[in-house]
């Protein structure tokens, strides 16, 4: 797996729970989803090994003010990671 994939996963998911701007959260999740989809099992394994699956679960439950869009996207990414 390339260093770029690792940096993108960490950069998009690190501190996601603390981000209060739901537009930013949604965009970060879009980026993370793209990286996970393109990176396949290796990228999904990285998300799990770094503990970001818990972040996705939490965001998928709460969603914040971004509501359903953020929740659905977090759940979709979690589904890709757990396959």
Query: If pLDDT is split at 50, 70 and 90, which confidence band does 9 have?
Result: very high
Q: Single out the residue of 61, 25, 52 nearest to residue 43, CA to CA.
A: 52
Q: What range defines the domain where residue 47 resides?
A: 3-82
> How many domains, the chain?
1
User: For the packed helices 3-13 and 52-62, what is the interaxial angle rounded to 10 degrees?
Assistant: 40
Dihedral angle, C-alpha 47, 81, 17, 26, nearest 10 °: 120
* Prediction pTM value: 0.88
Return the pLDDT at 68: 85
């Amino acid at each position: 797996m390339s260093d770029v994939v690792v940096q993108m996963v960490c950069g998009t998911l690190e501190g996601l729970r603390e981000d209060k701007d739901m537009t930013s959260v949604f965009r970060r999740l879009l980026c993370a989803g793209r990286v996970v989809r393109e990176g396949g099992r290796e990228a999904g394994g990285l998300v799990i090994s770094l503990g970001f699956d818990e972040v996705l679960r939490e965001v998928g439950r709460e969603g914040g003010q971004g509501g359903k869009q953020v929740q659905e996207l977090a759940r979709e990414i979690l589904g890709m990671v757990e396959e």
